[in-house]
C-alpha cells in the first residue's frame, strides 16, 4: 500500500491519540482501604476448630437454604454459604478450614459489578441486591476467594454468598448475629467488631505463639491481605493450603480499576479523541479529494 507522508502523519496523529489514551501512566499505588467505623466481622481460628460442622447446618437454617448434615455439602455452592473443609485428613498437620465471604475492605466484586448490585453497606458487610443483578457473573471472575456462587440449575438463578447474617440483628446490641458463630462449641469462630477481633487474634498469638503459622512470627490472615478483610484467620498451617491465596497487601485486581480510571478520568480522553477524529474527517472532506 502506498501512502503518502502527509496522510500517514495525519493518521498516525489520530492513532497516536488513541494509543496515548490507553498508555497514560497509571495512578500511583492506591492508599490502604479505609476501615468502616462500624466494621463488623468474624475471626476463625483453625487450631480450635473440631470440624463438627454445626456452623454449616446453622447457616443453612438461618438462611433458609436446602440441605442438611445427613447430606453434607462439599463446597460452597448456590445453596451453601458456609462450609467446613479439611486439609490433610488424619495426618499430623491436619487442619480444618471455614470458608465464606471475607467481606473485604475494598472488595473486587464491588469494583467489578456493573450497576452496584454488590455493595459494602452497614457494618462493612458486602451485600448482593437481587433487584439490580443481571447475572453476568463478573463478580465470580473478580473475587480472589471464589466466594460468590451462582445457581446453575435454576431458570431464575441468584448469586449466593454470606452476608454475615445481616438479617439477624440482635435487639440489645444492634449488631448482626452470624448463626455460625452462635453455635460454635469451641469459639473457633467468633463474631464482633473488627477492631476487637484484631486485638483478640493478637492476644491469642501472644498467649500461644507456638500454635500458629508461620512459626516465629505468626500472622493474622486478613489483617492486610488483599487490602484487608473483615473476616480474619488464624491457623497452624500455611494459609495457602487452606485456600487463602497470597494476595499481597494491595486489594485484588486493583490495577484494572487504576487503568480504567486513568483512561476515563473526567471522560476527557474519549471526548478529545472524538474531536480529533471529527476534525480530521472534516478536513478530509473539505479538501474534497481522495489521496491515492
Q: Under rule CB under 8 A, which residues in 201-260 are in contact with another protein?
A: 243, 245, 247, 252-253, 255-257, 259-260
Interaction pattern, residues 73-92, with another protein; x per rule: CB under 8 A: ---xx---------------
Q: Does 2 bind another protein (CB under 8 A)?
A: yes
Given the complex with another protein, which of 171 and 292 has the nearer CB atom? 292
**Separation of alpha carbons 194 and 36, rounded Å:** 9
Q: Given the rule CB under 8 A, which of 181-189, 197-205, 216-224, 277-285 is the region that contacts another protein? A: 277-285
Region binding another protein by CB under 8 A among candidate stretches 29-37, 95-103, 104-112, 189-197: 104-112
Question: What does the angle CA 114 – CA 119 – CA 120 come to, to the nearest 5 degrees?
Answer: 150
- Asked if 152 touches another protein (CB under 8 A), the answer is yes
Q: Which of 16, 22, 66, 214 binds another protein (CB under 8 A)?
A: 22
**From 111, 120, 175, 204, residue interacting with another protein (rule: CB under 8 A):** 111
H/E segment holding residue 191? strand 189-193
Contact 96, 237 (CB under 8 A): no
Minimum CB–partner distance for residue 285 and another protein (Å): 6
Which residues in the 121-140 window bind another protein by CB under 8 A? 131-138, 140
Residues 23 to 52 in contact with another protein, rule: CB under 8 A: 23, 26
Number of residues that bind another protein (CB under 8 A): 75
Q: Which is nearer to another protein, 70 or 152 (CB)?
A: 152
Q: Are 60 and 27 in contact (CB under 8 A)?
A: no
Torsion, CA 234, CA 238, CA 239, CA 241, rounded to 10: -130
Q: Applying CB under 8 A, does 151 fall inside the site for another protein?
A: yes
Separate counts of helices (H) and strands (E) for the chain: 8, 9
SS3 192: strand
Beta bridge partners of 45: 234
Instruction: Give Dmax (Cα) for the chain.
Output: 84
Cβ-contact 125, 166 below 8 angstroms: yes
In the complex, what is the shortest distance from the CB of residue 130 to another protein, in angstroms, rounded to a whole number? 8
Residue with cell 443453612: 60
Choose one: 22-30, 33-41, 50-58, 215-223; the region binding another protein (CB under 8 A): 22-30
DSSP code at position 265 = G
CA separation for the pair 224, 248 (Å, rounded): 8
Q: Which of 50, 86, 115, 268 binds another protein (CB under 8 A)?
A: 115
Amino acid at each position: 500500500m502506498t501512502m503518502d507522508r502527509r496522510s500517514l502523519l495525519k493518521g498516525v496523529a489520530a492513532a497516536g491519540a488513541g494509543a496515548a489514551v490507553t498508555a497514560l501512566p497509571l495512578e500511583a499505588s492506591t492508599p490502604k482501604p479505609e476501615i468502616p467505623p462500624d466494621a463488623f466481622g468474624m475471626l476463625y481460628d483453625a487450631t480450635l476448630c473440631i470440624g463438627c460442622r454445626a456452623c454449616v447446618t446453622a447457616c443453612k437454617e438461618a438462611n433458609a437454604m436446602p440441605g442438611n448434615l445427613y447430606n453434607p455439602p462439599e463446597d460452597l455452592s448456590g445453596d451453601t454459604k458456609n462450609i467446613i473443609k479439611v486439609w490433610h485428613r488424619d495426618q499430623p498437620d491436619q487442619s480444618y478450614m471455614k470458608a465464606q465471604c471475607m467481606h473485604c475492605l475494598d472488595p473486587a466484586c464491588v469494583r467489578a459489578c456493573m450497576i452496584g448490585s454488590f455493595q459494602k453497606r452497614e457494618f462493612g458487610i458486602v451485600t448482593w441486591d437481587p433487584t439490580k443483578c443481571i447475572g453476568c457473573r463478573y463478580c465470580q471472575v473478580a473475587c480472589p476467594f471464589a466466594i460468590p456462587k451462582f445457581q446453575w440449575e435454576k431458570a431464575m438463578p441468584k448469586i449466593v454468598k454470606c452476608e454475615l447474617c445481616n438479617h439477624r440483628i440482635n435487639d440489645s446490641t444492634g449488631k448482626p448475629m452470624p448463626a455460625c458463630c452462635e453455635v460454635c462449641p469451641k469459639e473457633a469462630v467468633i463474631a464482633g467488631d473488627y477492631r476487637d477481633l484484631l486485638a483478640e487474634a493478637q492476644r491469642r498469638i501472644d498467649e500461644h505463639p507456638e500454635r500458629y503459622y508461620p512459626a516465629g512470627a505468626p500472622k493474622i490472615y486478613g489483617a492486610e491481605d488483599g487490602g484487608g478483610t473483615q473476616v480474619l484467620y488464624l491457623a497452624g498451617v500455611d494459609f495457602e493450603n487452606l485456600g487463602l491465596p497470597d494476595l499481597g497487601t494491595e486489594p485484588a485486581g486493583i490495577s484494572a480499576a487504576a487503568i480504567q480510571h486513568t483512561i476515563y478520568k473526567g471522560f476527557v480522553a474519549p471526548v478529545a479523541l472524538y474531536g480529533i477524529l471529527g476534525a480530521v474527517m472534516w478536513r478530509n472532506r473539505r479538501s474534497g479529494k481522495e489521496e491515492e
